A and B are shown apart, each in its own frame.
Chain A
Amino acid sequence: MAGGTTDPKRFQASKATLLMDAFMTHFIKVGGALVIVTVFGIFVFILSQIVPLFRGARVHEKTSVPTPPGDYAVMGADEWTELPFLLRGDGTFVFVDIAAGGAASEERPAPLGEKTVTAIGYRPQQGSVTFGTADGGFVVGKVKYTGDFSSGQRRVRHSFDWIPFQETALPGVPVTEIASGETDSAKLIATVQQSQEGQTHLSVSRVERKKSLIGSGQWKVANAYDLSAFLTAPPRKILVTSSADAVIALLENGDVEYFFLTSGGFELRQKFRPFGDVGDGRVASMDFLLGDVSLVFTSPQGNNRVFSLFPKPGETVRTFGQTKEFPPLSAGAAFFSQSLRNKSFLLGAGRRASLRHGTTEVIRWETDLPFDVRMAVLGGKYESMLFLDNRDRLHVYGLEDPHPETSLPGLFGRIWYEGATEPKYEWQSTGGSDEFEPKLSLVPLLVGTLKGTLYAMIFAVPIALLAALYTSQFLHPDYRGVIKPTMEIMASLPSVVLGFLAALWLAPLIETRVPSILAVSILLPAGAYFFGWLWSGLPVNLRRRVAPGCEFLAFLPLLVLLVWAGWTLGPVLEQWFFYVTDPVSGEKVADFRRWWPHATGTNFEQRNSLVVGFMMGFAVIPIIFTITEDALSNVPATLRSGSLALGASRWQTALHIVLPTASAGIFSALMIGLGRAVGETMIVVMATGNTPLTEWNIFSGMRTLSANIAVELPEAPHHGTLYRSLFLGAMVLFVLTFFVNTLAEILRQHLREKYKTV
């Protein structure tokens, strides 16, 4: 190339550079955006895990099959609802094979022989069927289902297990109503019999099986009881509990009588009117909920109430009392079926069918079906429903309701659990027995969270604010480079270490020294102020000895002295004030741990809120300190110079000029500290008893949302109700802290804008 002329390409960037630049531009844009989206995906994922908790039941029709026409009294089904049975009034079973398009097979129990069946009782939980006959006897037995998987596919088969015919105490008198309940060794059969003279008898037979060395003997009537004397009206329906120790009779006039079997025979334990305040007070239906502790009533007008057994105030025995009231149906329930998995029940009249949850008082599903329902069965696995319509067609519905116990009221409301004396907020996710009902109210956990946070803040806020104020306004600049990192080190202490020290070092230390803590917390601030007051009154040349900004160093020995003094004073205080008189020896025992429950009626635990508050202080103080210190020292110097120049003292300047200016920043520091305390996990797990309490006693423990997750999530089955409830707890924590922090951040930004204009 000739000298002088420039190659026009000289100023062009190379293709590779441009390509690389374009590629990186896209890569970073896409990648960066993706990272940020992923991070926020956490929120979406957790949300997706908790949504099912709030969904109602989803129901869809799967199939329908024709059934032989007949006058059916009872419908029952296997747990897969594949081979349901219809029971004719005359005692003939009709098994309907759904998969075979409704192929029906009839079978009459052998022990019935030629007898006339006049009453039928059925308990779906055990599959037990009871027949009452016209000649005053009964036949008890069971329908059993077994699933046969040998061919690779499930085939359901049924079998019977009958006990020979037995006579009631009134042979020859036809049975009009019959009910039974059974334990392993005894059955209780209650019968209503209508004599020809028009008299109504209520009698109960206790059938027992003698156990011998060779095996079990024959079932025989061991005892018979006549309860007719108690009746004020003819019974409409009778129920026997599964523990075979109580009979409940619903009378025509709307009264309900509750008989209990004691060693001396039956006693009338309670008589009540479920609908005494509605219309003429009559009752349309009465049925048990799973566990036989609650009764579901409907009135002819459609009112729907649940009564449960619980001890009334001042009583020791459990009697029925109303615990729930559901929205009314259009009429009294014509069909009813209890769930065998939870406290749900299916009931309705006419076309209307309603699936309700007996504990949370929530309607899981309610609709008008395209047919009139004669009978209904809620499948044993709570996954299906059967409806028999009035044109003899059997409809199979699929039911999808994995979390019936959790709905808004179940998770946040006050729930009246079975056996409890009043509605309560309660968290108890696992229990001993099969019939245990998980109690998943988040309220005790929220209260625990707030309690821990409150005590932590009470302890941390004064110390952090004073320290920040001193550091930013009065501290000699030479020390600042050491003080701030030292306080920041405090923030980095792993919470598991703090928790361990809280539980194994601090809790035993404090346990016996509560009066000392009390003494220190009074002595320290008072001593500090008093000393400051004395010092500032000293002559100037004496005061000069402590350079301004170094007071904290001079104060350190005094601090140690005050803490020591308070610590030793504690036991003395205890001897003076916190003693109880030992009931056995009559001696005075100075022990705060015994004095506190004695004086306040609340518990004293070793691992308590005081310990948690103190240790959580270590986590919270540095956060509040750092942010407050930043906010205070960023107050424009001109403001302070102005104030000082006008003759205000350094304290007056700090209090009246700097603090108000930085107030938004201080508030945001408190918010961020609060966020940290709310989410703290390990300290709380280790330093409290983890009991979900709803009280504010400083000497008892608590269970916080975060600790609850740490304790229970490892054991929670995947996608179960507990699992999702714990995810909900995590969501609450997420939203709470995110909200608080965002508020704080916005305030801080606002403050920054303000400083710019000053």
Chain B
Amino acid sequence: MSAPTDISPTTEPRSLAFKAGGMKRTAGEAMVWFSSMGLALGLLMVVGLLGVIVVNGFSVFWPQRIVELRLKEDSGARIRGSEYLAGEIRRVQTNTGSTIAEGGPTMERQLFIGNRDAYGLGFRFVKETDIQGETHPEDLLIIERMEYGDAIGRPLRLLAEDGRTILPGDPAFQSEMETTNRTVNRRRRAIDRIERVRIGNINLKMESLGFARKAAGEVNPAEIARIDAEKAALQADYEVLAKQARELRALQQTGKLFYRLPTGEEREMPMGQMVGFYFPNQLGLFKRMSLTLHNIWVFLVESPREANTEGGAFPAIFGTFVMTLLMSIAVTPFGVLAAIYLREYAKQGVFVRSVRIAVNNLAGVPSIVFGVFGLGFFVYFVGGTIDSLFFAQRLPTPTFGTGGILWVALTLALMTVPVVIVATEEAVASVPRGMREGSLACGASKWQTIQRIVLPAAVPGIITGLILAMARGAGEVAPLMLVGVVKLAPTLPLDATFPFFHLDRKFMHLGFHIYDLGFQSPDSEAAKPMVFATTLLLILLVVVLNLAAILLRERLRRKFASGAF
């Protein structure tokens, strides 16, 4: 039932205004304004919150300029007495705990100063009253490293891998840095491929040989000899690979960069440590934008480093995607089946009506309850049974008797099945009666009518429900914590190792990534950018899914305006 349009209550009754001679107040106009505050506030909240996320999320990728501050003699922000301090300004806030005598609050800046290996802490608060001067020197360099976060400093000289020394004044300095950086990055990927993929495969084979050996027992000497021979061959392969990796690692250490910190100390780092570099104060708008795009790309496709605070979020994105997919596969047939049963086959009466109410209300049951159920039923009961039947040789290490992506998908499917049932029911009910009767009159059976007439007409509605279910499932965290999400999964649930789809594996999830980074991370300040970036991604995902569902539903409403929505 849409809002009535036959009479417009929104136009102010003219007669009253007329009677009042244009000056007397219409009763309750002030209250109308008052109630408009509610809506305005609600809108402001949505827009504000999304704004906070978008601004903070995008600013993570945007390379900021670096400021060099000259501090006063007695400033508490000085590091080892140094007059200069350089970093990105992350926040400007009022100084807490100011006294009345000081004449009210003063401001302070939070500076990201990097160089955690040298300074210990990556951040520093500087009182604005302590600042004597600030500049944006062009020669400051930001180096993204494998460890200790970013380094900020002035380059002194580069020792290339072939032994040449290049000074920053040399026009070839920048290009030489870029070449070396590309080389070490390529080499790092090669090492990773060797260690993770090839040696990982050998480990897997070793493990299954171990089980085979256990199964053979002591009775089958031929079998044991064969297994041992195979093991020895694998071990030899492993030695070769390990040696390769070692050699590559040694090469990573040959190139070196010497640089000076803003506070004066000189340091050196092997080029193998470097992930990327840029001169933040030399960047033009175009370079800055292309660097932003590059950062976003890295975030989307790379694995996390340093307790998830650096690098990308690819495993979490992939895990969320696979889980949502599995959940949809599980939830759709069952939801549609139940809905068709309720609408088309069950005898409509008090019982079905109360079942319908109950199913509807199940959508309002807290998600954590489903998590509790998933842990007790799927993980411990079903998983435990599967383990004792099929994976007995691995016990007491559980295979399915512990959290895994399958259990998460099933738990979420159970949680979202009411959403699909309700949406499908509505869609099925809104198919005009005439269409059904026409089909039946033509001699089609009941199933044929459902299959050829009702279901096709209801598909958009079903998809709406499914999208809503996916959005809910993708954004949910509480039940996942109980049934199979981890902060760092070494492997993906879908990869090139047999049987390719690993239903028993634990996985990473965007929502849990946010929770873990924001709350379990040892340095939450350093983790903040990553959390905001992940939040932005999750919000985008969920909002896009929801908008799609809402728009689809609006279109449907218009199409079946006479239906029972």
| B-binding residues in A (CB < 8 A) | 11, 13, 17-18, 20-21, 24-25, 28-29, 31-33, 35-36, 38-40, 42, 45-46, 49, 462-477, 480-481, 483, 485-490, 492-497, 499-501, 503-505, 512, 524-525, 528-533, 535-537, 539-541, 548-549, 551-552, 555-556, 559-560, 563, 571, 575, 579, 582, 587-591, 617-618, 621, 625, 633-634, 637, 640-641, 644, 647-653, 655, 672, 675-676, 678-682, 685-686, 706, 709-710, 713-714, 718, 726-727, 730, 733-734, 737-738, 741-742, 745-746, 749
Q: Please measure, in the bound complex, the distance between the C-alpha atom of A354 and the C-alpha atom of B539, giving whole angstroms.
A: 60
Q: Does B132 contact A (CB under 8 A)?
A: no
Interface size class of B (residues with CB under 8 A): 35 or more
Return the contact of A525 from the options B11, B34, B339 (Cβ within 8 A): B34
Residues in B whose Cβ lies below 8 Å from that of A525: 34, 37
Chain A residues whose C-beta falls within 8 Å of the C-beta of B29 in the assembled complex? 532-533, 535-536, 649, 651
Q: What residue of chain A has the Cβ atom nearest to residue B50's Cβ?
A: A489
29 A-B pairs whose Cβ atoms sit less than 8 Å apart in the complex: A13-B443, A29-B346, A32-B340, A36-B355, A42-B370, A467-B39, A472-B3, A474-B36, A486-B43, A487-B43, A492-B471, A497-B475, A499-B515, A500-B535, A512-B94, A530-B30, A548-B12, A575-B104, A649-B16, A652-B27, A652-B28, A679-B366, A682-B515, A709-B368, A709-B482, A710-B482, A718-B380, A738-B361, A745-B360
| A33 vs B339: C-alpha distance when bound (angstroms) | 10
Answer whether A32 and B447 are a contact pair too, CB < 8 Å, given A474-B35, A496-B477, A528-B37: no
Check A497–B535 contact: CB distance below 8 A: yes
Beyond A35-B338, A45-B376, A463-B38: 17 further Cβ-contacts under 8 Å? A21-B446, A35-B341, A40-B358, A470-B39, A474-B36, A492-B472, A492-B542, A533-B29, A548-B11, A551-B36, A640-B7, A651-B32, A679-B365, A710-B368, A726-B372, A734-B369, A737-B364
Q: Is the CB of A46 within 8 A of B542?
A: no
> Looking at the complex, which of B252-260, B272-280, B546-554 is the stretch in contact with chain A?
B546-554
Given contacts A469-B35, A644-B7, contact A31 B341 (CB under 8 A): yes
CA distance A591 to B538 in the complex (A): 37
Checking A36, A40, A524, A637 against B37 with a beta-carbon cut-off of 8 angstroms, the contacting residue is: A524
Contacts of A680 in B (CB 8 A): 366
In the complex, whether B45 has a CB less than 8 A from a CB of chain A is yes
Query: In the complex, what distance in Å separates the CA atom of A222 from the CA atom of B500?
Result: 73
Known contacts: A32-B340, A589-B99. The answer to whether A737 contacts B365 by CB under 8 A is yes
Q: Name the segment of B17-25, B81-89, B161-169 touching the other chain.
A: B17-25
Contact A650 B10 (CB under 8 A): yes
**Contact flags B508-545 to A (C-beta < 8 A → 1, else 0):** 00011011001100001000100100010011001101
Q: Counting chain B CB atoms within 10 Å of each CB, which of A493, A531, A617 scores highest?
A: A493
- Residues of A close to B476: CB separation below 8 A: 494
Q: Mark B399-411, 1 if CB is under 8 A from A, else 0.
A: 0000000000000
Which residue of A25, A477, A634, A727 contacts B10 across the interface (Cβ within 8 Å)?
A: A477
**Does B5 interact with chain A (Cβ within 8 Å)?**
yes
A539 and B22 contact, CB distance less than 8 A? yes
Q: Which residues between 360 and 405 of chain B lie within 8 Å of chain A, taking CB atoms?
A: 360-362, 364-373, 375-377, 380
In angstroms, Cα B535 to Cα A17, docked, is: 52
Are the CB atoms of A466 and B34 closer together than 8 Å? yes
Closest 9 CB pairs of A and B: A32-B341, A679-B366, A466-B38, A651-B28, A532-B33, A494-B475, A637-B4, A536-B29, A532-B30
The answer, among B31, B375, B515, for a CB contact under 8 Å with A651, is: B31
Does B475 contact A492, Cβ atoms closer than 8 Å? yes
Q: Determine if B348 is an interface residue (Cβ-Cβ < 8 Å).
A: no
Kindly state the separation between the CA atoms of A31 and B6 in the bound complex, as whole angstroms: 46
Within 8 A of A (CB), among B328-347: 334-335, 337-342, 344-346
B24: min CB distance to chain A, Å: 9
A70 and B552 alpha carbons, distance in the complex (Å): 89
B23 & A727 in contact (Cβ 8 Å cutoff): no
Q: Are A621 and B32 in contact (CB under 8 A)?
A: no
**Interface residue B414 (Cβ < 8 Å from any Cβ of A):** yes
Given known A24-B447, A536-B25, contact A46–B373 (CB-CB < 8 A): yes
Verify B104–A571 contact, CB threshold 8 A.
Answer: yes
Name the contact of A467 in the complex, choosing from B42, B519, B546 (C-beta under 8 A).
B42
Residues of A within 8 Å of B293, CB to CB, are none
A749 and B512 CA atoms in complex are apart in Å by 38
Are B33's CB and A529's CB within 8 A? Answer: yes
In the complex the two chains form, is A477's CB within 8 Å of B5's CB?
yes
How far does the Cβ of B332 sit from chain A's closest Cβ, in whole Å? 12
Establish whether residues B372 and A650, one from each chain, have CB atoms under 8 Å apart when the complex forms: no
A262 to B408, CA, bound (A): 59
**Measured CA separation A621–B40 after assembly (Å):** 13
In the complex, what residues of A have CB within 8 A of residue B474's CB?
A: 494
Closest to A585 in B: B99
| A42/B414 in contact, CB under 8 A | yes
Q: Which residue of B lies closest to A552 (CB)?
A: B36
Taking the complex as formed, is B175 at the interface, i.e. its CB lies under 8 A from any CB of chain A? no
- Min C-beta distance of A741 to chain B, whole Å: 4
B364 touching A730, Cβ below 8 Å: no
CA distance A528 to B476 in the complex (A): 37
**B15, B40, B518 pick with most chain A CB within 10 angstroms:** B40
CA A491 to CA B100, docked complex, whole Å: 43
* Given known A-B contacts A501-B52, A540-B17, A734 and B365 have beta carbons under 8 A apart: yes
Contacts of A533 in B (CB 8 A): 25, 29-30
Q: Judging by beta carbons under 8 Å apart, are A555 and B4 in contact? A: no
Chain B nearest CB, measured from A411 CB (Å): 16
Cβ 8 A contact of B373, one of A42, A462, A499, A563? A42
Interface centre among B10, B31, B355, B370 (most CB of A within 10 A): B31
Q: Chain B interface secondary structure, helix, strand, loop or mixed?
A: helix
Q: A42 vs B371: C-alpha distance in the bound complex, in angstroms?
A: 11
Q: A17-B448, A501-B49 are in contact. Are A467 and B369 (CB under 8 A)?
A: no
Q: Is the CB of B539 within 8 A of A493?
A: yes
Cα A424 to Cα B169 with chains together (Å): 74
Q: A46-B373, A575-B100, A655-B28 are in contact. Are A555 and B448 (CB under 8 A)?
A: no
Q: Which of these, B44, B371, B515, contacts A496 with CB under 8 Å?
A: B515
Known contacts A490-B42, A536-B30, A742-B358, A649 near B445 by CB under 8 Å: no
A471, A481, A531, A617: the one contacting B554 at CB < 8 Å is A481
Taking each of B9, B31, B36, B365, which has the highest tally of chain A beta carbons within 10 Å of its own beta carbon?
Answer: B36
B32 touches A470 (CB 8 A): yes
Asked whether, in the complex, the Cβ of B538 is within 8 Å of the Cβ of A494, the reply is yes
CB-CB under 8 A from A21, the residues of chain B are 445-448
* Interface assignment of B183: CB less than 8 Å from any CB of chain A: no
Taking the complex as formed, is B357 at the interface, i.e. its CB lies under 8 A from any CB of chain A?
yes
A531–B36 CA distance with the chains assembled, in angstroms: 12
Q: Which of A473, A582, A746, A749 contacts B9 (CB 8 A)?
A: A473
Give the CA-CA distance A40 to B421 in the complex, in Å: 14
Query: Known contacts A490-B45, A559-B44, A681-B368: does B38 contact A25 (CB below 8 Å)?
Result: no
**A640, B546: Cα distance in complex, Å:** 33
Please pick, from A462, A536, A641, the residue contacting B38 in the complex, using a CB distance under 8 A.
A462
A28 to chain B, nearest CB (A): 5
Set of chain A residues within 8 Å of B35, measured between Cβ atoms = 466-467, 469-470, 474
- Interface of chain B residues 40 through 94 with chain A (CB within 8 A): 40-46, 49-50, 52-53, 56, 94
A465 to B339 alpha-carbon distance, docked (Å): 33
**Residues on A with beta carbons closer than 8 Å to the beta carbon of B446:** 21, 25
**A651-B27 CB under 8 A given contacts A486-B43, A727-B376:** yes
Nearest CB in chain B: distance from A316 CB, A: 36
B397 CB to closest chain A CB (Å) equals 15
* Complex CA distance for A467 and B46, rounded to whole angstroms: 13
Report which of B1, B10, B366 forms a contact with A549, defined as CB distance below 8 A: B10
Complex Cα spacing A675 to B369, Å: 13
B481 at the interface (CB under 8 A from A): yes
Contacts of A466 in B (CB 8 A): 34-35, 37-39
Nearest CB of A to B456, in Å:
16
B32 proximity list for chain A (CB < 8 A) = 470, 474, 532, 551, 650-651
